[in-house]
Amino acid sequence: MDLSRACLVSLLAALATQALGEERVADGPTFALGAELEPHLPPEIWAHRALFFEPETRIEIGPPQRDYSPPAAFGGASEGARLGPDGSLLGHVAGQPFDDPGASCDRDPAAGFKIVWNVEHRWRGAGEHAHFRISWWDRGERVGAALEGREKSVAFAHRLDLARFTEREAANFRRDPREWGLYAVVDHPAEARGTSLWCYRYRSAEGVHPLRPDDCWVYAPALRRVRRSQRRSHARALPAFPQPLATRRGFGEPAAGYRWQCLAGRALLVPVDRAGRGYPQDPAADFGASGLSFAPGGLEMRETVRVRGIPRDPAHPYTRWELVVDRQTSRVVYGFVWDDLGELSRIHWHAAVWSEDDPGRHPGWPGIERPRDWRPVVDVLVNPQAFAGSRVEFYDDRGAPFSTFRAERGLVDPGCLSKPCRFREFIDPRETPAPP
């Protein structure tokens, strides 16, 4: 079955499913990995396909160009958002800064900056809230013990739900200099238990380079001390905390730290996982011999656009970073990094689940009754030269906010890393938030 026929059959199956009134999309057709896929994948993925596809694998192709649009409350382009000097972002209040800049990739020299600002401010609810597992793989063998833990991020700026707070509480968010905060703690194995991370990005990161650096603190229980790290790039790992922040949820770097150029738009097959098979719901899920493959998920045809970022810092360890971005959701699906020798040194890919396929696992909250969130559930970072890499799973991630202002603002004091703190009571993602 050729690809066009496969996609047509899948589309007809999806339409039939909707006609029957079923909530979930029917399974798409499957076919063996062959040369017919090559034109529909990034060349870097096809060149290293042994890492991403299992031998004799059969690939499930989902419905093409499925509607993953965010909720109406997120709206279209943000009124007043515009580019300032050197690609900085000005006037952004909430929502998506720009309206599908990928459509003008070949006409607008600033399209690359607009696309990446949309990535930075894409719909993700009130943040992230998940259990995570990090595993490392080398030539098909798992290296060391996987790290398991919990994480929570909170958006302080550009929020859509300020109406649910009192005026005083909403004003507290509006004048906060931080854009978002991230807290993560390791629970297993025992020797790493309690290792914690606290990071902030500041609103000034939307300005002209040089930026105010991100602030990160890491607590290592073995040393009984907190180490602070200020950085304008997360390309180098944080000391004592192994989670790769640069590729977290697609792209975790400050956007203004790069000069962006839009390269081209095209329809591509991108990884998806409609079943949500991974940690913590399914900790024994099989990810294939390499541990870094698209298994057990499938692929969907999506309209994408590719952008290239050149680091502004001459001491940056990478010479360029290229992102493949889904045009409808502004979510990064693939990324490719070249080192200072000009060689492809990193490939990262990211699969997502659609909240409408399983509303019970993705509840709404006041003001957002249906999250409509095409939410990443796995980050895979690969060194194609060494046939090694890491896999970060967070399949229970959701974007619902905390139920109270006190809990939201608990992500402010990094002193909670090394002392008892009320915030720790609120970071179990399995607790369904109650309306305020």
Helix (H, G, I), strand (E, B) or coil at 15: helix
Torsion angle, alpha carbons of 143, 144, 150, 151, to 10: -50
What are the angstrom distances between the C-alpha of 121 and each of 203, 294, 333, 377? 12, 26, 16, 18
Distance CA 106, CA 103 (A): 8
**Cβ-contact 126, 159 below 8 angstroms:** yes
User: Is residue 431 domain-resident?
Assistant: no
- CATH number for 173: 2.50.20.10
User: Is residue 30 domain-resident?
Assistant: yes
Distance CA 244, CA 200 (A): 15
Distance CA 62, CA 31 (A): 12
User: Is residue 196 domain-resident?
Assistant: yes
Bridge-partner residues for 325, per DSSP? Answer: 305, 332
Report pLDDT for 8.
Answer: 32
Q: What pLDDT, in 10s, does the model give residues 309-352?
A: 999 988 889 999 999 999 999 999 999 999 989 999 999 999 99
With bands split at pLDDT 50, 70 and 90, how would you rate the model's confidence at 24? very low
Closest by CA position to 393, among listed 361, 363, 428, 353: 353
User: Is residue 247 domain-resident?
Assistant: yes
In sequence order, what DSSP letters do the residues of 49-106 get, joined into one string? HHHHS-TT-EEEB--TT---PPPGGG-SBPTT-EE-GGG-EES--SSBSSS-GGGGTT
User: Is residue 412 domain-resident?
Assistant: yes
How many Å is the Cα radius of gyration of the chain?
21
Q: In this model, does residue 246 exceed pLDDT 90? A: no
**Cβ-contact 35, 23 below 8 angstroms:** no
Domain count, the chain: 1
Q: pTM to 2 decimals?
A: 0.87
**Cβ-contact 386, 137 below 8 angstroms:** no
User: Is residue 37 domain-resident?
Assistant: yes
For residue 41, what is the DSSP state? S
Residue 268's domain comprises: 3-426
Q: In this model, does residue 416 exceed pLDDT 70? A: no
* Residue 58: partners with Cβ closer than 8 Å, 6 or more residues away: 30, 31, 32, 33
Q: In this model, does residue 436 exceed pLDDT 50? A: no
* Residue 206: partners with Cβ closer than 8 Å, 6 or more residues away: 88, 89, 90, 92, 117, 179, 255, 256
User: Is residue 314 domain-resident?
Assistant: yes
With bands split at pLDDT 50, 70 and 90, how would you rate the model's confidence at 394? very high
Q: What pLDDT, in 10s, does the model give residues 262-313?
A: 999 999 999 998 777 789 888 888 888 888 998 778 899 999 999 999 999 8
User: Is residue 432 domain-resident?
Assistant: no
Mean pLDDT of 13-19: 31
